[in-house]
Amino acid sequence: MAELRRVAAGLAAEPARRPSGAWKMTRLQTPCIEFHDVSKRYGDLQVLNGVSFQARPGEKLSLIGPSGSGKTTILRVLMTLESIDGGTVRIEGEPLRVPGEQQRLSRSAERGLQRIRGKVGMVFQHFNLFPHMDVLRNITLGPMLTQGVSRDEAEAQALRYLDMVGLADKARSRPSQLSGGQKQRVAIARSLALKPKIMLFDEVTSALDPELVDEVLAVMRTLARETDMTMLLVTHAMNFARDFSDRVLFFERGRILEEGPPQQIFSEPREERTRTFLRKILASGQDL
């Protein structure tokens, strides 16, 4: 993990993160992410219903709640994979405007959208690696296409990130030759190669065998501890969320029902629905 810490330090503007719960909302600090009264529908289904929250630069947030409560939709909106029906979303103070199916953006608006996209990286539940490309090509493709990085520079950078996640010897392997945990670590390296300011994790361990989960969580813990990237995590791994987070947001039916520091949410939740959810997670054998 020494290499992971060394490279992570290069991503960070400060050597270590503040301890969990230590974040203060100051008026002088522009939110890195801001949702205000955001709504989203799929036909008759209200997926997001008046969602408002902020994430400060470098803050680590966990989004928890039952399946279908809107958590992943939040990430998809930030990745510009979904438009919204109402409200506003801002990234570093800049409005995020994603066109609907029948809309087209002006050239200037499209450039603005591309600029925002360059600030956000995402690690998906099912890895989303290109199966016909080797690991090295999976990682270098993004920087070369979107940032104009030369092949030599992109490959050197990719090898550093692969070393960081403990997979330097897998650069020429195809995804089909990797375990699930290895695929997810490659996916993390691929996102880091784009040098995002915001990193999104969508149930990144839920598709893994239990024996492979720890190797992925170890990488995420170090990134959370030693970089100043703003991170949003959607997860049912409650024990990890408690250790990872500065704040936890509990979602229910498209709304944020409760939010607060991990100690409050996991030890003294105010809402009965939050308590019921956490009891069910514990009873199901998932970690708490």
**Across 239-265, average pLDDT:** 96
Give the span between the Cα atoms of 209 and 259, in whole angstroms: 30
**Across 60-87, average pLDDT:** 95
Residue 262 has pLDDT above 80, yes or no: yes
Confidence of residue 19 (pLDDT cuts 50, 70, 90): very low
pLDDT of residue 233: 97
Give the span between the Cα atoms of 33 and 19, in whole angstroms: 20
Burial of 59 (0-12, 13-18, 19+ CB in 10 A): buried
Tokens 């939050």 map to which residue? Answer: 274
Give the span between the Cα atoms of 74 and 58, in whole angstroms: 18
Q: Is 255 helix (H, G, I), strand (E, B) or coil?
A: strand
Give the span between the Cα atoms of 183 and 128, in whole angstroms: 9
What pTM, to 2 d.p., does this model score? 0.85
Sort strands 120-123 and 198-202 into parallel, antiparallel or unpaired.
parallel
**What does DSSP assign to residue 261?**
-
- Could you give the domains of the chain? 33-284 (3.40.50.300)
Q: Bigger pLDDT: 184 or 19?
A: 184
Per-residue pLDDT tens over the stretch 187-242: 999 999 999 999 999 999 888 888 889 999 999 998 888 889 999 999 999 999 99
**What does DSSP assign to residue 30?**
P
Sign of CA dihedral 170, 173, 179, 183: positive
pLDDT of residue 77: 96
